[in-house]
Amino acid sequence: MKQLFAITAITFCSTIVGCASSGALREIVYEQKDLPDGSAIEIRYRNQSKIQMCVDPEAWPNSAGAISDAEKRAFLVVGEQRFAMKPFNAGYCLKGCGMPIKPGEELVARIPYEFFDLPNDLRLQQKRLEFTSMAYPCRGN
C-alpha cells in the first residue's frame, strides 16, 4: 500500500507545475538603484544564462511594483531601519504563471516607496532593497 501511495504521489507531482526538483530554483542576482526623485527603487535582472528562465509572481515585482506575498521577505532599508513591504496577494495559479526571460533579455521593475510606508522625511536618505529573487529554467513559448 505504501509503495502504491508513493507511485501515485510521484505521478501526481510530475503533472503539476511547482513540483520541480529542489535544484531547479536558482537565486538571481539583480542590480538596484534608488530613485528618490521618482520615489521608487528600480531593480534590473539580465538573464546571462544560455537557457530561458522564468520568475513567479512572488519572485519579481508586477507592472505596478508589487510582489506577491512579500511582506515577510521584502524590506526597504534606510540606515538601521527596515520597512516591510505591504501585503499583496496575486492569487493562486495552477500552471503557467512564470514570466519567461530569454537569454540576454532584461527585466526592469520599479517598486514605489509607498509600498513600504516609507516616511517622507527619509525619502532622500540612501536606501537599499532586501529581497531574494528566484528563477527556474523553463520551456520557450
Q: Which fold has domain 23-137?
A: Immunoglobulin-like (2.60.40)
Give the mean pLDDT of the chain: 80
The predicted pLDDT at position 57 comes to 80
Length of the chain: 141
Looking at the predicted structure, is the pLDDT value of residue 34 above 90?
A: yes
Q: What are the residue boundaries of the structural domains of the chain, listed by start? A: 23-137
The predicted pLDDT at position 15 comes to 32
* Residue whose C-alpha cell is 501585503: 87
Asked if 10 and 4 touch (Cβ cutoff 8 Å), the reply is no
In which order are the strands placed within the sheet that holds 53-55? Answer: 26-28, 133-137, 53-55, 99-101
Q: Could you tell me the pLDDT band of residue 89, with boundaries at 50, 70 and 90?
A: confident
Name which residue leads in pLDDT, 87 or 113.
113
DSSP string, 19-52: ---TTS-EEE--EEEEEGGGTEEEEEEE--SSS-
